[in-house]
Structure 1
Amino acid sequence: MMHYRGLLSAAWDGPVTVAESPHPPLPAELELQALWFSGAFGRDFQDDSGATVRIVQFGEWNRSAGPDFLHAAAEIGAVLKEGPVELDLRPSDWEAHGHGADPAFEETILHVVFGSSGAESFTRTAGHRRVSRVTISRQQIEEALLRPRRETAIARPGRCVRPLGDMPAIAVASLLREAATHRAALKAARFLRTADAHGRDAALYQAVAETLGYRANALPMRLLAQRMPVAALRESNGQTEALLFGAAGFLSPDLHEKAPADTREHLRALWDTWWKARGRWESSHAIPWKAGGQRPANHPHRRVAALAALAKDWPKFRKLAFSRPLDVKGLISYLSKLDDPFWTKRHTLSSTTTARPVALFGKARAIELLANHLFPLALHEDEPFENYLKLPAGAINEHVLRCAIRLFGSEEAAATWLKKAAHHQAMIQI
């Protein structure tokens, strides 16, 4: 019988079936910054001098010019240092970007990079003070992204087409269970690293924001959740919606003037609230939203509205999300009924009303949240796998369908294994 760990070993170490291929390209710097801030790379490192580095506090996003993160704290060697942290793709970017001559970087305590420039160098400030440098390895990046070490794992086209197509059903079920368990463990570890860095509430908030973003806006939604933390929203005294839409960059002083008459009062109220708070929260670094090529119901405005609705009802949502055993029916019912009077029949802040109500969260997103974040954490905390296996699959997206056809030869042959969310995760993992 094929076992998942054996399959992994054969895939990465087998000399015949696998050919080396180039590493996938590095993610964009903004995504690497978001991963760093979330704690996805961990807390403990070693700098370029061999000293141990432990991140005590990841700080906060810089909203203007200067280092990427402010008010961070790190134990470097035996010394606690507080100050900014700068991230660059390469060590040479520090000088190439002019940081070494910029007084704004003088107090930087840590320079984080994601590759080597080849020649030996060190990071120094305008005052010629050496700054500890930490290099994040390719393996750390790929583990944080939950993606394989190589872009491809076959030597010739067709080599691994339908490897599960002729396996007995009992063997397929066993393999998929192992793969789903393995993937869930990786996802739980990622959640727990964020929880270690910022607390369980922040980890849950970032996870649900990422889920709401779908594929196109997962990173922008996570960035928004990092820049406008749930702890601040819980203390905002009814300003949640204005703070989130303002931090997202969706509010302007004349927005209400261009909007339909029945929305103007609401939009003006949002702006008036944001105008008073934006000095604390507004960033000069725009979030890269993608509005094109999506269903109107998935417009970024609606995604932010759903996050705001959850933040306003956080204690109830939190209780359901962390329930043990996981209250799947209760959570799906709660999220499916999540509502906001303004957004019931609107796609954007300034759109006209729709003929029919539009779900703010919806069952499919609820299942994605459960499969990608909540069940992995619950399994780590001793939830029976059988409970996970009961979770029905949501929509069969293109990624899952491609994996199923690759593994079983056709959609029809894979049909039995396309009904459960756990099996979707397993096929993606394999």
Structure 2
Amino acid sequence: MREDFLHYVWQHQYFDKSDLRTSAGEEIQVLRPGHRNADAGPDFLNARLRIGEVEWNGAVEIHLRASDWARHNHQIDPKYDQVVLHVVGNHDADVARTNGSLIPALALQPRLMPELLARYQALIEAPAAAPIPCAPLLHLVPEITKTVMTERALLERVERKADAVLALHQHLGQDWEATAYHAVMAAFGFQKNNEPLARLAKALPLAVLRRHRHDQRQLEALLFGQAGFLADNDETIGDAYIQDLKQEYAFLRHKYDLGSNALLVHEWNYLRLRPANFPPVRLGQLAGLLHVRPALFEALLTAQNTQALTQFFQVPAPAYWRTHFRPGRPGKVPGLGKSSIELLITNVVVPLRVAYARHVGQLDVVESSLALLAQLPAEHNQFTDVYEALGFTHRTAADSQGLLALHKSYCAPRRCLHCAIGSRLVQKPRAVQ
């Protein structure tokens, strides 16, 4: 048994409450179990209890063993002085607040419903080879429960991404255009090179780039120079285009004192990448986009549908980067593909719009932003395929994002009791008709 099971039991009061007493024999009445605390401190806040003749309003802390209180050093943490009841599986020690006053304890182990515990253990003890812990029991879960949980996981995933955008927005002095620039730059790394491109955005401030956006040659010199791609080697030494950019970059680097922040060529990742996804190719596509679309944020915020967003991103790279995979290395290079644009809409546009909507209080924009995901086709990978095989709805990118969130936040860490599906199964399930 894990501690999260005791949390679940206390939250829903799924235990025998007849003649409920503390370990010292005082009668307990649970008037309100409290609400889960997502921050540091006791597990449940704002509980209302009657212990003996006294009514208490305070916190409840939960442990498998009462002695865990001391192991976690709660006896010296003032945050835990508000605890009015210590709920434990096994009461093996008395515990006290920082002032030495004893805290009443309730032992739940003897009061647990055996069938509830058995269903919980069936979930958490599922074989590691099982696709997801509840796979053998999914036929007992109504379709609406799976749908609602997938939608909840989707919203949580988008909210987490929006939180990251808002943190970036705050760091950039609440400049939404700069926020869009940094977010788009990082996303063009398509996982393998997100981090170097995020650092490139920092190394080449938007304030500098804005001054040269209308001069494509200078724009490319700034981007490729700061990225470290203009260094001489056997392939570039005789390349007139690269040498011209190098000369222009030397002037701009000195003018804006950029050299100390420039990346080095070895900081970029090529391992197991197809040539069409090489960093210089993506940077060339970014150069085309930043030259033709000087106002990123406004366009991404106001686009009415995914078709408009697709057109926004379908900007040809500069001529050289349509015929070179790397500086000095020629080859026919495809443009930004449909699947790449769909990933940009999913991972940049939607979180950016949701973050802005939350910042200004326009909740209708949240709904319209999530609706964009329903306009995109489903993503297929090793994780979504598992859920699709188990009968989960998987028709659009909204479904894909929800299933990915379900896997990462609930199924993989086996947080079954936090999931509506797992909670339904731990309760007394009925076969679906």
Following TM superposition, by how much is the alpha carbon of 1:316 offset from its aligned partner in structure 2, in angstroms?
5.0
Identify the residue that residue 413 of structure 1 maps to in structure 2: 390
Following TM superposition, by how much is the alpha carbon of 1:273 offset from its aligned partner in structure 2, in angstroms?
0.6
Q: Say yes or no: does 1:246 pair with 2:230.
A: no
Following TM superposition, by how much is the alpha carbon of 1:174 offset from its aligned partner in structure 2, in angstroms?
1.7
Following TM superposition, by how much is the alpha carbon of 1:315 offset from its aligned partner in structure 2, in angstroms?
2.8
Q: Say yes or no: does 1:349 pair with 2:327.
A: yes
2:240 aligned to which of 261, 265, 286: 265
Amino acid at match of 1:13: D
Identify the residue that residue 306 of structure 2 maps to in structure 1: 328
2:340 aligned to which of 348, 365, 375: 365
Q: Say yes or no: does 1:235 pair with 2:211.
A: yes
Identify the residue that residue 118 of structure 2 maps to in structure 1: none
Change (3 A) 1:169 1:392: farther
Amino acid at match of 1:175: M
1:282 aligned to which of 259, 263, 266: 259
Change (3 A) 1:363 1:285: closer
Q: CA RMSD in A?
A: 3.1
Separation in structure 2 between the aligned mates of residue 424 and residue 11 of structure 1, nearest angstrom: 30
Following TM superposition, by how much is the alpha carbon of 1:234 offset from its aligned partner in structure 2, in angstroms?
0.9
Separation in structure 2 between the aligned mates of residue 181 and residue 342 of structure 1, nearest angstrom: 41
Q: Say yes or no: does 1:194 pair with 2:168.
A: yes
Identify the residue that residue 203 of structure 1 maps to in structure 2: 179
Separation in structure 2 between the aligned mates of residue 202 and residue 300 of structure 1, nearest angstrom: 22
Separation in structure 2 between the aligned mates of residue 218 and residue 429 of structure 1, nearest angstrom: 20
- Please say if residues 255 and 267 of structure 1, whose CA atoms lie closer than 8 Å, have aligned partners that are also in contact: no
- Please say if residues 243 and 274 of structure 1, whose CA atoms lie closer than 8 Å, have aligned partners that are also in contact: yes
Separation in structure 2 between the aligned mates of residue 291 and residue 193 of structure 1, nearest angstrom: 29
Q: Say yes or no: does 1:300 pair with 2:274.
A: no
Change (3 A) 1:368 1:257: closer
Identify the residue that residue 30 of structure 2 maps to in structure 1: none
Residues 37-96 of structure 1: CA deviation (Å, up to 9, x unaligned): xxxxxxxxxxxxxxxxxxxxxxxxxxxxxxxxxxxxxxxxxxxxxxxxxxxxxxxxxxxx
- Please say if residues 188 and 282 of structure 2, whose CA atoms lie closer than 8 Å, have aligned partners that are also in contact: yes
Following TM superposition, by how much is the alpha carbon of 1:330 offset from its aligned partner in structure 2, in angstroms?
0.9
Identify the residue that residue 5 of structure 2 maps to in structure 1: 14
Secondary structure of the structure 1 residue equivalent to 2:324 = coil
Number of aligned residue pairs:
270
2:376 aligned to which of 392, 406, 414: 392
- Please say if residues 346 and 358 of structure 1, whose CA atoms lie closer than 8 Å, have aligned partners that are also in contact: no
Change (3 A) 1:318 1:379: closer
Change (3 A) 1:249 1:255: farther
Separation in structure 2 between the aligned mates of residue 229 and residue 424 of structure 1, nearest angstrom: 34
Identify the residue that residue 155 of structure 2 maps to in structure 1: 181
Change (3 A) 1:193 1:345: same
**TM value normalised by structure 1:** 0.56
Following TM superposition, by how much is the alpha carbon of 1:414 offset from its aligned partner in structure 2, in angstroms?
4.9
Amino acid at match of 2:162: A
Amino acid at match of 1:393: P
Identify the residue that residue 143 of structure 1 maps to in structure 2: none
Following TM superposition, by how much is the alpha carbon of 1:155 offset from its aligned partner in structure 2, in angstroms?
5.7
Amino acid at match of 1:311: L
Separation in structure 2 between the aligned mates of residue 214 and residue 11 of structure 1, nearest angstrom: 38
Amino acid at match of 1:268: Q
Secondary structure of the structure 1 residue equivalent to 2:191 = coil
Residues 124-158 of structure 1: CA deviation (Å, up to 9, x unaligned): xxxxxxxxxxxxxxxxxxxxxxxxxxxxx956624
Secondary structure of the structure 1 residue equivalent to 2:330 = coil
Change (3 A) 1:14 1:303: farther
- Please say if residues 146 and 392 of structure 2, whose CA atoms lie closer than 8 Å, have aligned partners that are also in contact: no
Change (3 A) 1:285 1:388: closer
Change (3 A) 1:376 1:252: closer
Following TM superposition, by how much is the alpha carbon of 1:421 offset from its aligned partner in structure 2, in angstroms?
1.5
Higher helix share: 2
Residues 154-196 of structure 1: CA deviation (Å, up to 9, x unaligned): 5662471538843333332222111111211121121122112
Separation in structure 1 between the aligned mates of residue 294 and residue 371 of structure 2, nearest angstrom: 24
Separation in structure 1 between the aligned mates of residue 3 and residue 169 of structure 2, nearest angstrom: 31
Amino acid at match of 1:205: Y
Matches within 5 A, 1:366-381: 366-380=341-355, 381=357
Secondary structure of the structure 1 residue equivalent to 2:294 = helix
- Please say if residues 310 and 317 of structure 1, whose CA atoms lie closer than 8 Å, have aligned partners that are also in contact: no
2:200 aligned to which of 212, 216, 224: 224
Change (3 A) 1:215 1:161: farther
Residues 226-274 of structure 1: CA deviation (Å, up to 9, x unaligned): 1112221111362111111111111124567545xxxx22112111111
- Please say if residues 289 and 315 of structure 2, whose CA atoms lie closer than 8 Å, have aligned partners that are also in contact: no
Separation in structure 1 between the aligned mates of residue 389 and residue 205 of structure 2, nearest angstrom: 45
- Please say if residues 209 and 222 of structure 1, whose CA atoms lie closer than 8 Å, have aligned partners that are also in contact: yes
